[in-house]
A and B are shown apart, each in its own frame.
Chain A
Amino acid sequence: MNIVVLVKQIPDPAGPQELNADHTLKREGKLILDESDSYGVEIALQLRESAGGGDVTLVSMAPNGETSGLRTALAMGADDAILVGDDALPGAAALTTAKVLAGAIGRKQYDLVIGAVESSDGYVGVVPAMIAELLGLPSLTFAKKIDIDGSVIRIERQTEAGYDEVEGALPALVSVTAGVVEPRYPSFKGIMAAKKKPLEQVTVADLGVSVPGFNGNEEVTSVEDAPARAAGEKIEDDGTAFERIVAFLDEQKVL
């Protein structure tokens, strides 16, 4: 079973985050594996193990040729990686990203493509569906569980109320929700082995992809700080507090 996992390398969320003049995120220095993607990597490794073989290939795009996040996923157990690095890519919009990644995926033979529902720095959340469309694959989204049975894929698709069972034919693309499995830690052995795993670096031209002027169809016009949290309301219990709490929850439409 050959699986391609889309992974993003992002600035460490534990560090200070800064924006460029065009409101895009600064991506200088060391980047790390987006935690959102670690779940997809783990699921891919488990699927490969239960299939009894195959390759897990990472596909990523990074503006500065950074490979640290990919090394982490290779250390977890992925087999190889393709990194698209190109001076034309910084600030790429979702459709550009999808076209570039689809071009890179096309270099491999695959049964399944796995991506995160959304990255934890950009939160755009449309790239997996765009790639499925570009590659002509069935798109199964918000998966919290994946089962493969021959050439059929079944997922549990997370919904507000629970989950739907969705079935498709392989090859397919699945987006997985965060937190659905426990990603393994890269072991010391895995870290050392990752050093020798193939990591192919290609440019947009190598992929033969035409991108719609890298940011042509999307523009961030302004950025504002999140509004400060307003003071909460204190309810003193005079014996009827529950009524006010119920009314409040009702008003928030959570009941």
Chain B
Amino acid sequence: MQFTEEHHQFRRTVRDFVEREINPHCDAWEAAGLFPAHELFARMGELGFLGLEYDPEYGGAGADHSFTVVLGEELGRCSGGSVPMAVGVQTDMATPSLHRFGSHELKQRYLAPAVRGEMVAAIAVTEPDAGSDVAAIRTRAERDGDEWVINGTKLYITNGIQADWLCLLCRTGPESSGYTGMSQIVFPTGTDGFSVSRKLDKLGQRASDTAELSFEDARVPVANTIGEAGQGFQQQMVQFQNERMIAAYNAVGQMDLALERTIAYLREREAFGRPLVANQYLRYRLAELVAEVDLLRHYNYACAAAYMRGEDTTRFATIAKLKAGRLIRDVADTCMQFHGGVGYMEETWTARFFRDARIVSIGGGADEVMLRVLAELSGMGK
């Protein structure tokens, strides 16, 4: 992939924005258990961060995917995983289906404000009894005239408290309809019958609002259906590819920063009469990780290039996300270990990174789901 002067400039803008507008506030947001999504997104929307690849008709920049790579990597340099995850939900998890398959009216009403950062979006797929097995979801939308009547529960929903609308996956066909009986529906959270039943307390990503959502006879127009009714599962599977790619781009930025900071610490910290960085075991171990992160970075670039050529990136995105999840755990563990006692302290960045990094192997399809997909793609059957 070829980065131009414009990519360089955009990288600089995002990096400055992260350093000045996000990082100084992360500690307070972590303590509050929430970051001000509307306030922050409005500023990001003004700078064009939230609709890079979207149609200018809806406020997007009409740019190619390579700028999403830059945005993802640079947001990874936030002091914690919460904000990059929330932005990723807005740009690459909750809105791609709407942009791809939604009607003009639906895009004007919900995509354009999301691109401007005036509306916060969330993706609602997971349920108490359906996580990795997406086809097992039970939240139902029954048609009543021109309306869907929705009942059910969604769990672990990022941006769940602050979201103005959800990209909601529900069953619209009979129980037996399996993969062909689901639909994606734009669900405004101001709808009667909708409530946030719980704000969830998590190991990490503590500045991110994750919620359990409840739907009781909540009515939305059938016109809110994204694309074709009954195609929801298939559309969501495509949307998952964007989710996995952005997760892998974020992870590279997070790991770059973590390794830079650990190397800087080892240069400064002395033990046995010399800086720790002079210790061969420590330096070689970090060099190994630097190499692995670089391999993932360039694997991501290959994935992005294939995506830009219009190819199916299921295999690329699956491998990148699997590797990102495993590698970031290794990096987080090593960074904490090499900091010693101070690394275990909450006041040191390593503690938050250690907690936040863990989600990469679970969200957006767990490692085991990635392996399941890969096994199938590699001819081992379903």
Contact pick for B47, options A32, A67, A68, A185, CB 8 Å: A185
CB atoms of B48 and A68 under 8 A apart: no
Which residues from B are CB-within-8-Å of A71?
Answer: 5, 9
Interface of A is mostly: helix
Contact pick for B8, options A68, A185, A187, CB 8 Å: A68
Interface residues on A, range: 10 to 19
B129 to chain A, nearest CB (A): 42
Nearest B residue to A30 via CB reads: B8
Contact of B215 with A by CB under 8 A: no
- A75 and B6 CA atoms in complex are apart in Å by 10
CB atoms of A72 and B9 under 8 A apart: yes
Which residues from A are CB-within-8-Å of B9?
Answer: 68, 71-72, 75, 186, 191, 194
Pick from B10-18, B152-160, B163-171, B180-188 the stretch touching chain A: B10-18
Nearest A residue to B49 via CB reads: A188
Contact of B46 with A by CB under 8 A: yes
CB atoms of B10 and A188 under 8 A apart: yes
A34 to chain B, nearest CB (A): 13
Contact of B52 with A by CB under 8 A: yes
Contact of A192 with B by CB under 8 A: yes
Contact pick for A187, options B5, B6, B47, CB 8 Å: B47
Which residues from A are CB-within-8-Å of B6?
Answer: 191-192, 195
Contact of A189 with B by CB under 8 A: yes
- A138 and B255 CA atoms in complex are apart in Å by 52
- A32 and B46 CA atoms in complex are apart in Å by 23
- A225 and B16 CA atoms in complex are apart in Å by 29
Number of B interface residues in the complex (CB < 8 A): 17
CB atoms of A188 and B17 under 8 A apart: no
CB atoms of A185 and B5 under 8 A apart: no
- A185 and B10 CA atoms in complex are apart in Å by 10
Interface flags for A226-246 (1: CB within 8 Å of B; 0: not) read: 000000000000000000000
CB atoms of A188 and B12 under 8 A apart: no
Interface flags for B6-33 (1: CB within 8 Å of A; 0: not) read: 1011101100110000000000000000
For window 39-76 of A, CB contacts with B under 8 Å fall at 67-68, 71-72, 75
- A185 and B74 CA atoms in complex are apart in Å by 15
Q: From known contacts A32-B12, A72-B12, infer whether A188 and B5 are also in contact, taking CB-CB under 8 Å.
A: no
CB atoms of A187 and B48 under 8 A apart: yes
Nearest B residue to A12 via CB reads: B12
Nearest B residue to A74 via CB reads: B9
CB atoms of A68 and B5 under 8 A apart: yes
For window 150-207 of A, CB contacts with B under 8 Å fall at 185-189, 191-192, 194-195
B1 to chain A, nearest CB (A): 18
CB atoms of B16 and A188 under 8 A apart: no
Contact pick for A189, options B17, B48, B67, CB 8 Å: B48
Nearest A residue to B4 via CB reads: A195
Which residues from A are CB-within-8-Å of B5?
Answer: 67-68, 71, 195
- A189 and B49 CA atoms in complex are apart in Å by 10
Interchain Cβ contacts under 8 Å between A and B, 8 examples: A68-B9, A72-B9, A186-B9, A187-B46, A188-B47, A188-B63, A189-B48, A191-B9
Listed in ascending order, the chain A residues whose CB lies under 8 Å from chain B are 30, 32, 67-68, 71-72, 75, 185-189, 191-192, 194-195
